[in-house]
Amino acid sequence: MSEEKSQQPQLAPTGTIDNQYLHASENWFEYPVRVQPHHTDYAGVVWHGAYIAWMEEARIECLRSIGIEYTDLVALGCELPVVEMSIRYHQVLQLGKAAVVKTRMEEVTGVRINWNYAIQSIDGQDLHVSAKVTLVAMDREKGKIMRQLPPRVKEVFARLSASKK
């Protein structure tokens, strides 16, 4: 029976993930947030879905920071729905606390766009959430995944990748 347990997939220890996100601060777009009452449960702790909303806001603001409005992507006929998400909750955030949502585009492979996130204390000492999100380019008119990114969209993501270097 102990052999069966050792063969099961294991998550990396939280400390390993903490170090990865707390010390990898280069090339992250930073989006500050403050916990408001509507973000919390009855105990004053941030509800898990609020973190996801903050990650979405940070991604949109990251694009805006390089001059790309999400509405422009939509006008080009391109939607970017989330198709995969992995999120790990490390430490709760409570009512009234401030934090920073860090995001960066990790890579574009075909029509898949991968983003990393870290939600940290303002001083960078505490990691609250780490996450990875995968988006795909979807043709709004046809409602189907595109075979390739439209040239203008590809250019946008190339510019974002270049800004990371």
DSSP 20-49: HHHH--TT-EEEEEE--GGGB-TTSBBPHH
Q: Residues 54, 33: contact at Cβ < 8 Å?
A: yes
- Whether the pLDDT of residue 73 is over 80: the answer is yes
Find out whether 133 and 92 touch, Cβ atoms under 8 Å: no
114 by DSSP, 3-state: which? strand
Instruction: Look at residue 14 in the predicted model and tell me its pLDDT.
Output: 46
Query: CA–CA separation, 165 vs 69, rounded Å?
Result: 22
Which of 99-103, 137-141, 147-151 is least confident?
Answer: 147-151
Look up the pTM and report it.
0.80
Q: Which residues belong to the active site? A: 41
Give residue 163's pLDDT: 63
Q: What is the structure's pLDDT at 68?
A: 80
pLDDT band at 165, cuts 50/70/90? low
Bridge partner list, 51: none
**pLDDT (0 to 100) of residue 74:** 86
pLDDT given for residue 162 in this prediction: 66
C-alpha–C-alpha distance, residues 149 and 87, integer Å: 26
CB 135 within 8 A of CB 112: yes
In tens, the pLDDT along 44-59 reads 999 999 999 999 999 9
Nearest to 39 by CA among 117, 92, 89, 102: 92
Task: Classify 70 as helix, strand or coil.
Answer: helix
Q: Which region, left, alpha or beta, applies to residue 161 given φ > 0 means left and ψ of -120 to 50 means alpha?
A: alpha
2-39 pLDDT, tens digit each: 554 455 444 445 454 444 444 445 789 999 999 999 99
Please write the tens of the pLDDT for every residue from 74-131: 888 889 999 999 999 999 999 999 999 999 999 888 889 999 999 999 999 999 999 9
pLDDT at 126: 96
